[in-house]
Structure 1
Amino acid sequence: MEMWRDGSDARDAKVSVVAAMVDAQHRNTEALGRRALAYRVAVLLLLGQILILVVAVAQSSAV
């Protein structure tokens, strides 16, 4: 609404909105990338723990 008050036309408003949407998309992509990496690390740690547990159970039953 401020753009209308300042004398901007519809095209200027649309360009401003699109620029804001593109900026938000870039920030969202970065944030999701960090979260996806954290998720993958957590999954790998969990799989490592499961592997250690399976090996420990197998060794204790073999003895």
Structure 2
Amino acid sequence: MSTKQKLRPFQRIMRKHAKSESVQQRQSDLLMQFSGKDHEAVALLLKEWLKQSERKDKM
């Protein structure tokens, strides 16, 4: 079995642009810490905006 950890999409992108794996891993970990679950908050915000837009279109 492989001992490699499954990477998240964002981590895969970061890994492609890193100079070395150790530098990339630190960068990726730091950025993931800062981003936290921001993607979920952004998705909820977009969903709410779409609902508001649909309501305005119906008027």
- If each structure's helix is expressed as a fraction of its own residues, which one has the higher value? 1
When normalised by structure 2's length, the TM-score is: 0.46
When normalised by structure 1's length, the TM-score is: 0.43
